[in-house]
Amino acid sequence: MLRELLMAGCVMSFTLVSAWATDTSQVLTLRLKGEARLVAHTETSGRFDENVSGRISLENGDEQRILEERTGYRVVSLDSAKFGDHRMIVVGWASGGQGRYLRPAVYVTDDRSGWTPVWRPFQDEPLLDGEVRIRQEEGRSVLTISEDLDPHDSGPPRLRRLRTGRWQSGQFRLSKSEYGPAETMGQKASLAREYFLDGKIEASLDLYNQVLSSGTFGQDRRLAAELHRAAALCLESLGRTATERTALKALIRNYPETDPARHAANRLLRIRASDLDGRKP
């Protein structure tokens, strides 16, 4: 039954109830065939969103069936589109409280359970200020997934990352990352980290050196030490042991109280040990 209802056209609506009260209720509606609709309720109690719960229900006339509910999450988006041979529901689950971490999920319907998750790739690594949208590309539905990146906790404005999800061979496949402008030193540091993870070590090192040379984070000792450590990791990956040794000694000398300095000291010990027995550090 649910599959038949979902094959009809869908419209999304938004309603906010009791916006100025301590307890609020947010409702998203996805209209299906006839009187049927999917309804996402988010209940919030407490002035600072201490208690949040979200649920998605199928309503058809007087009948109502809860399909899924999560404590600690709100439903921030609810949409539907056809991917391959299936019409799927795309839901944006976001954690409550002051932060907004998105865990998008895609569901497909079947005759037995009626509500089956088919793609939930970000359950362990939610997206900071993430958004999930559906767009049409050459007659096919494509997911667009965007998020903020701040791996060094340098603060806003953050680097924006965009990926697309396409339905191929019975599953969603994520594209390579695209990035928004990296104009501030914090955004450049985030992009440097992305380059490092992608194996673009020279580009990563160049960006880290640019950030460090700017002196932007000189007053934040924790962050400055972390960026120096990140640059040293690039040197380690490139096999530039002599330059790395100099960088590690400077890190220990200038930021002795920090965790990166302790990691640097351990790395120096390994380099010295390898020098003694002739091994590669």
- Tell me, what's the pLDDT at 228? 98
- Tell me, what's the pLDDT at 279? 63
- Tell me, what's the pLDDT at 43? 87
- Tell me, what's the pLDDT at 281? 62
What tokens does 239 get?
Answer: 């096999």
* Banded pLDDT at 277 (limits 50, 70, 90): confident
- Tell me, what's the pLDDT at 276? 78
Q: How far, in Å, CA of 177 to CA of 75, rounded? A: 25
The neighbouring-strand residues paired with 164 are 144
CATH topology of domain 185-277: 1.25.40
Angle at alpha carbon of residue 137, lines to 37 and 104, rounded to 5° = 50
pLDDT digits over 125-174, tens only? 999 999 999 999 999 999 999 999 999 999 999 999 999 999 999 899 99
SS3 162: strand
Which class for 104: exposed (0-12), middle (13-18), buried (19 or more C-beta within 10 A)?
buried
pLDDT digits over 243-274, tens only? 999 999 999 999 999 999 999 999 999 999 98
pLDDT digits over 206-247, tens only? 999 999 999 999 899 999 999 999 999 999 999 999 999 999
Does 116 or 14 have the greater pLDDT score?
A: 116
pLDDT digits over 9-65, tens only? 444 444 444 443 456 778 999 988 778 889 999 988 765 556 889 999 998 888 888
- Tell me, what's the pLDDT at 47? 57
Q: How far, in Å, CA of 232 to CA of 244, rounded? A: 6
**In the predicted model, is pLDDT for residue 85 greater than 90?**
no
**In the predicted model, is pLDDT for residue 185 greater than 80?**
yes
What are the boundaries of each domain within the chain?
2-127, 185-277
- The most confident of the ranges 21-35, 42-56, 76-90, 108-122 is 76-90
- Tell me, what's the pLDDT at 280? 62
**In the predicted model, is pLDDT for residue 111 greater than 70?**
no
At 18, the amino acid letter reads S
- Tell me, what's the pLDDT at 46? 66
| Residue 170 backbone zone (phi > 0: left; psi -120 to 50: alpha; other: beta) | left
* Banded pLDDT at 196 (limits 50, 70, 90): very high
**In the predicted model, is pLDDT for residue 6 greater than 50?**
no
Closest CA to 78 of 100, 62, 54, 61: 54
Q: How far, in Å, CA of 207 to CA of 40, rounded? A: 43
Question: What's the average model confidence in pLDDT over 180-187?
Answer: 97
At 192, the amino acid letter reads A
Q: What own/partner pairs with CB < 8 Å and gap ≥ 24 does 132-135 have?
A: 132/77, 132/90, 132/92, 132/102, 132/104, 133/77, 133/79, 134/79, 134/81, 134/90
- Tell me, what's the pLDDT at 77? 93
Model confidence, pTM: 0.83
**In the predicted model, is pLDDT for residue 113 greater than 60?**
no
Q: Torsion over CA of 217, 223, 229 and 233, rounded to 10 degrees?
A: -90
